[in-house]
Homo-oligomer: A and B are copies of this chain.
Amino acid sequence: MRVVVPFGADRPKTRLEPVLDAAERGAFARAMLRDVLSALDAADPLDREPTVLADAPVDIGARVTVDDRPLTDAVGAALPAAPDDDPVAVVMADLPLVTADALEGLFASAGDVALAPGRGGGTNALVARDPDVRVDYHGASIRDHRRLARAAGLDWSEVDSYRLATDVDEPADLAEVLLHAPPESASRAWLDAAGFELALTGGRTGVTRE
């Protein structure tokens, strides 16, 4: 199995602008990417050196392919093209809660295509085992990916994981990192150093910054 980790290096995490400046968004996005790569490295079996698929060069100590096309096109080009091609796992770079266990659940999933939904209609990870798998990351992609699998006559499964479902796009998502990231998490360490703390405000837990 090949593993591809798409990473927006050009203008990372713009929806975190209310709480992080541009340099901080870049540093935090790289911390999340490091956490995903660490979890991939810890997942068993280990024959899956990942490729970071970035829209601009990034220095992260991993194999990087730069492809500045839209995500749908760049990921589409990385999927299996022929029946004998290795399966391909696509794991987003903004999943700082992810663990080796959660990834192993993804890799062990059934179907020509396995989909791990993200909050708000996204598709945070998938495994493509058939050359007819197609991706479309516009809009509510999980719905499109089901539709595309159905249209191609493929078997598909869904992976039920909160750790895979929790991508970090908006300020409220930072609370999830403080609550659930593994102890060794670079993302959590970065937020701690930047002065973020949990804020208990009646409803769901948010964050404050010192």
Q: Name, among A121, A198, A200, the residue most crowded by chain B CB atoms within 10 Å (CB to CB).
A: A121
Binds B, one of A4-12, A127-135, A165-173, A187-195: A165-173
Alpha-carbon separation in the docked complex, A170 to B139 (Å):
21
CA distance A5 to B165 in the complex (A): 25
Q: Are A204 and B122 in contact (CB under 8 A)?
A: yes
Which positions 111-169 of chain A face chain B at CB distance < 8 Å? Answer: 117, 119-122, 139-140, 142-143, 160-166, 169
A72 interfacial contact with B, CB 8 Å:
no
Q: Is A176 in contact with chain B by the CB < 8 A criterion? A: yes
Contact string against B for A residues 89-105, beta-carbon threshold 8 Å, 1 for contact and 0 otherwise? 00000000001011001
Contact B140 A179 (CB under 8 A): yes
CA distance A162 to B140 in the complex (A): 17
Partner of A205, one of B120, B169, B172, B176: B120
Contact B139 A169, beta carbon cutoff 8 Å = no
A209 at the interface (CB under 8 A from B): no
Q: Is A160 within 8 A of B102, CB to CB?
A: yes
* A166–B162 CA distance with the chains assembled, in angstroms: 9
Interface, chain A (partner B; CB < 8 A): 15, 99, 101-102, 105, 117, 119-122, 139-140, 142-143, 160-166, 169-170, 172, 175-176, 179-180, 198, 200, 203-206
Kindly list 13 other residue pairs between chains A and B, CB separation below 8 angstroms, not including A120-B176, A121-B204, A165-B165: A99-B160, A105-B160, A117-B180, A119-B176, A120-B175, A120-B204, A121-B198, A139-B200, A140-B205, A162-B162, A169-B203, A169-B204, A170-B203
